[in-house]
């Protein structure tokens, strides 16, 4: 029987100590193989039907990971495009509540509408800051800069009390942090970080037709958003998909070919097991930092650890084969399934020097 360790070691053999999944995830070996096969299909001029099948397989896989039916999942290219759809759906004067220094792809679309009121508060105050007139709460499940986790149950409860909707960016959490679909109305996530896929694919979860698709208008709809896509190639799309697929953007096929393999690995390991592995490594790093006299940004339960004042060491660490990030002067380390205790200890040893 294959174990978590054996499955992971069969897929990854990084040359560096790679602790930068919050920027880009490593590609599993099976994903690299799938990409080569997809490229070969295109290069040899063979039918590409199997690549479109990959899109649907990936949609179903992401739906299982997020606990929603596949007909509530759309596929696109960026988080920003889906934030823009939500922003466009809000009435003039509506209030959008966001957290301080959240990722720009999440918050910027709302700032681009001058007739919306965007109110920003500290992350730990976001639930208590929902008030009458708040139309939407937009927040990342895990903060990109420092890994802090939003209290999504509290946010959802507060939003529900005032009739507001919740939009969650799961780009820094999908793949390692279990998610409860009861905690959001809309959710978006890129595929190239913790889901370990190629760039070019993003997922979007929205209410289904029974809830009027959350009031969204499919402004980006092209042929792929039709109920019968191949019958929707010319002229206006006369029948949009009856599901949330009406918000699909024409797919970057190679990205989905790779993602199908990556998500297959995550599902095989199980998000709960990945979560336990990732957080254990992050906690080991936090404990080691304490012994060195460094205090990370408090982010209990997160796989991302941010250390104030050490960001300047990023270039030095990279030269030594340790990949981390410098975010606003903080050293950010992100621990995922391919990392080991040896990776943690190597980083601690270098930081102790």
Question: What is the CA angle 88-210-183, rounded to 5?
Answer: 70
**Does position 32 have pLDDT exceeding 90, yes or no?**
yes
Mean pLDDT of 313-326: 97
pLDDT at 344: 98
Mean pLDDT of 77-104: 98
Answer yes or no: are the C-beta atoms of 174 and 22 closer than 8 Å.
Answer: no
Cα–Cα distance measured from residue 325 to residue 330, given in angstroms and rounded to the nearest whole number: 8
Answer yes or no: are the C-beta atoms of 289 and 309 closer than 8 Å.
Answer: no
Cα–Cα distance measured from residue 90 to residue 327, given in angstroms and rounded to the nearest whole number: 32
Q: What percent of the chain has pLDDT over 90?
A: 98
Domain ranges of the chain: 4-27+270-352, 40-267
Kind plus residue range of the DSSP H or E element containing 38? helix 29-43
3-state secondary structure of 47: coil
Task: Work out the mean pLDDT of the chain and round it to a whole number.
Answer: 97
Axis crossing angle, helix 79-89 with helix 104-111, rounded to the nearest 10:
30
Kind plus residue range of the DSSP H or E element containing 334? strand 330-334
8-state DSSP, 213 = G
Length of the chain counted residue by residue = 353
> If we measure between CA atoms, which residue out of 76, 79, 85, 80 comes closest to residue 259?
76
**pLDDT tens-digit readout, 166-178:** 999 999 999 999 9
Cα–Cα distance measured from residue 227 to residue 36, given in angstroms and rounded to the nearest whole number: 31
Cα–Cα distance measured from residue 43 to residue 66, given in angstroms and rounded to the nearest whole number: 35
**Does position 1 have pLDDT exceeding 80, yes or no?**
no
Q: How confident is the model at residue 81 (pLDDT cuts 50, 70, 90)?
A: very high
**Does position 6 have pLDDT exceeding 90, yes or no?**
yes
> If we measure between CA atoms, which residue out of 71, 26, 34 comes closest to residue 51?
34
**pLDDT tens-digit readout, 133-192:** 999 999 999 999 999 999 999 999 999 999 999 999 999 999 999 989 999 999 999 999
Predicted structure pTM score? 0.97
Mean pLDDT of 345-350: 98
Cα–Cα distance measured from residue 100 to residue 138, given in angstroms and rounded to the nearest whole number: 11
**pLDDT tens-digit readout, 50-67:** 999 999 999 999 999 999
Distance spanning both ends of the chain, measured CA to CA:
42
Cα distances (angstroms) measured from residue 215 to each of 86, 161, 210, 222: 8, 19, 11, 19
pLDDT at 178: 96
pLDDT at 328: 84
Q: How confident is the model at residue 35 (pLDDT cuts 50, 70, 90)?
A: very high
Answer yes or no: are the C-beta atoms of 123 and 97 closer than 8 Å.
Answer: no
Q: Which fold has domain 40-267?
A: 3.40.640
Buried b (16+ CB within 10 A) or exposed e, 80-96: bbbbbbbbebbeeebbb
CATH architecture under which domain 4-27+270-352 falls = Alpha-Beta Complex (3.90)
Q: How confident is the model at residue 46 (pLDDT cuts 50, 70, 90)?
A: very high
Q: Residue with structure tokens 């995550």? A: 266
> If we measure between CA atoms, which residue out of 199, 204, 202 comes closest to residue 184?
204
> If we measure between CA atoms, which residue out of 198, 212, 156 comes closest to residue 181?
156
> If we measure between CA atoms, which residue out of 103, 124, 120 comes closest to residue 171?
103
Cα–Cα distance measured from residue 7 to residue 75, given in angstroms and rounded to the nearest whole number: 28
Cα–Cα distance measured from residue 105 to residue 89, given in angstroms and rounded to the nearest whole number: 17
**Does position 353 have pLDDT exceeding 90, yes or no?**
no
**Does position 222 have pLDDT exceeding 80, yes or no?**
yes
pLDDT at 121: 98
Q: How confident is the model at residue 307 (pLDDT cuts 50, 70, 90)?
A: very high
**Residue 203 neighbours by CB under 8 Å, 6+ apart:** 59, 62, 66, 73, 74, 75, 76, 174, 187, 188, 189, 191
């Amino acid at each position: 029987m294959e174990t978590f360790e054996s499955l992971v070691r069969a897929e990854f053999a990084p040359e560096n100590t790679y602790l930068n999944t919050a920027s880009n995830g490593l590609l599993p070996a099976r994903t690299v193989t799938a990409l080569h096969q997809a490229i070969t299909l295109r290069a040899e001029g063979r039918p590409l039907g199997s690549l479109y099948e990959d899109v649907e397989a990936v949609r179903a896989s992401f739906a299982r990971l997020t606990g929603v039916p596949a007909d509530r999942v759309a596929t696109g290219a960026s988080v920003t495009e889906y934030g823009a759809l939500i922003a466009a759906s809000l009435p003039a004067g509506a209030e959008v509540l966001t957290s301080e220094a959240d990722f720009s792809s999440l918050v910027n679309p709302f700032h681009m509408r001058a007739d919306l009121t965007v109110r920003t508060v500290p992350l730990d105050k976001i639930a208590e800051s929902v008030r009458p007139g708040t139309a939407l709460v937009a927040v990342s499940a895990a903060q990109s800069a420092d890994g802090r986790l939003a209290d999504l149950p509290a946010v959802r409860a507060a939003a529900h009390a005032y009739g507001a909707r919740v939009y969650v960016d799961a780009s820094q959490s999908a793949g390692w942090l279990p998610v409860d679909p009861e905690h959001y109305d809309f959710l978006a996530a890129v595929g190239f970080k913790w889901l370990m896929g190629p760039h070019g694919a993003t997922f979007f979860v929205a209410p289904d037709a029974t809830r009027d698709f959350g009031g969204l208008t499919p402004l980006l709809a092209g042929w792929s958003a039709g109920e019968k896509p191949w019958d929707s190639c010319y002229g206006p799309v006369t029948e949009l998909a009856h599901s949330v697929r009406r918000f699909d953007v024409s797919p970057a096929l190679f990205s989905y070919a790779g993602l199908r393999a990556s998500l297959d690995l995550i599902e095989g390991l199980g998000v709960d097991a990945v979560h336990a592995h990732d957080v254990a490594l992050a906690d080991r790093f936090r404990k080691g930092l304490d012994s060195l006299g460094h205090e990370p940004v408090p982010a209990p339960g997160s796989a991302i650890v941010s250390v104030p004042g050490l960001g300047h060491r990023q270039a030095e660490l990279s030269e030594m084969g340790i990949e981390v990030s410098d975010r606003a002067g903080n050293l950010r380390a992100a621990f995922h399934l391919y990392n080991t205790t040896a990776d943690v200890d190597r980083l601690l040893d270098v930081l102790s020097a």
